[in-house]
Structure 1
Amino acid sequence: MTQHNLTGETKPPLPPARQLTLRFSSTRRGARLARQLTVQQFTEWTGFPYDSDPTRTVALITAELASNAVRHGSLPGRDFRLTLQLLPDSCRVEVTDTRPERLLPPLTRQPVDETSGRGLLLVQAYADHWGCTNRDAYTKSVWAEVRLRATGS
């Protein structure tokens, strides 16, 4: 089936959205595996090389969100969930943890000598859109979207 706009021109159909959802243990190893799997799936879906800017951006965002889920959003024995969606013009990374009462902290600059506390600032800097959603009383999802730009633009 083709789509028609008001002038009657035919547009090619949009590619179908792709989605992958997996659960990982709330450990440093789980966060690392989430990042590695995201990079592998992203490059397979898009054809971008491992060392391209979009791939590095998606990897960094996944690493930060998964690391925060492990460090701040986990309860003993509870996993975190990673959802990766390839949309027609962007990639969405969503990490869901089991601590909905731990809302996102305000984004403030950390002192230079601090060794942590800049993860969400990086997400804010690299993502085109990002946010936090509480869908129920038991979980919190932090998500970020990265627009996929053609090489050279």
Structure 2
Amino acid sequence: MNQKIALPGIRPEGQVRHVSLLLSSTPRGARLARLLAVDTLRSWGIPHETAGQVVAELAANAATHGRVPGRSFRLTLYVVGATLRVEVTDTRGDRRPVLREPDGAAECGRGLLLVDVLADRWGVAEGRHPRKTVWAEIDLTPPPEPDSSRSGDAGG
């Protein structure tokens, strides 16, 4: 039997939730991005554990690799239907992120690998020069439950 499970923060298709924040391109700004995203998602009644980690990685990349002194980065969260979209826009369009396997001894370089594993989709969009937006989407619908009609015995 297929049942639709309603998550409290998920709205019917076509309804949108949105927040956009401008933050300093610093480690403090990156930490604040994660805290504000988690707080916002919590207030919307949306699971925030995975999304918080994705925001943390994308914001840290913007503050580290997309930093231009005196320029901020923008964090935008959208919920459309049962999809959360995280966007982080910085002013280093010339430095596009690259997914790569880090050296086993490296202490950094795993952020996009985490995003790749945690998000259902992600990518990069060019903005008006000199901007770029790194985005990730997370499907909020719960995974289908196993068929409970089976008794579990092999004799059937």
Q: TM class, shorter-chain normalised? A: 0.7 to 0.9
Query: Looking at CA atoms only, which structure, 1 or 2, has the larger radius of gyration?
Result: 2
* Match in the other structure for 1:64: 57
Question: Shift of the alpha carbon at 1:84?
Answer: 0.5
The 5 Å alignment of 1:18-97 reads 18-45=17-44, 47-48=45-46, 54-97=47-90
Structure 2 distance, partners of 1:146, 1:39, is: 14
The 5 Å alignment of 1:132-147 reads 132-147=124-139
The 5 Å alignment of 1:112-151 reads 112-150=104-142
TM-score calculated relative to the size of structure 1: 0.82
* Match in the other structure for 1:5: none
- Shift of the 149–14 alpha-carbon distance from structure 1 to 2, 3 Å rule, reads closer
Structure 2 distance, partners of 1:75, 1:134, is: 17
Once superposed, what is the RMSD of the aligned Cα atoms? 1.6
Q: Residue type matched to 1:148 in 2?
A: L
Q: Residue type matched to 1:92 in 2?
A: R
Residue identity (%): 46
Question: Shift of the alpha carbon at 1:124?
Answer: 0.5
Q: Residue type matched to 1:131 in 2?
A: G
Q: Residue type matched to 2:113 in 1?
A: L
Q: Is the 8 A contact 2:75 2:86 kept in 1?
A: yes
Structure 2 distance, partners of 1:123, 1:148, is: 16
* Match in the other structure for 2:91: 98
Structure 1 distance, partners of 2:93, 2:17, is: 27
Which consecutive residues of structure 2, in runs of 5 or more, have no partner in the other structure?
A: 1-11, 146-156
Q: Residue type matched to 2:84 in 1?
A: C
Aligned residues, how many? 134
Per-residue deviation, residues 78-106 of structure 1 (Å, max 9, x unmatched): 0000000011011010000000000122x
Q: Residue type matched to 2:18 in 1?
A: Q
Question: Shift of the alpha carbon at 1:138?
Answer: 1.6
Structure 1 distance, partners of 2:62, 2:110, is: 14
Which consecutive residues of structure 1, in runs of 5 or more, have no partner in the other structure?
A: 1-12, 49-53
Question: Shift of the alpha carbon at 1:43?
Answer: 1.4
- The runs of at least 4 consecutive aligned structure 1 residues that moved more than 4 Å come to none
Q: Is the 8 A contact 2:13 2:82 kept in 1?
A: no
TM-score calculated relative to the size of structure 2: 0.81
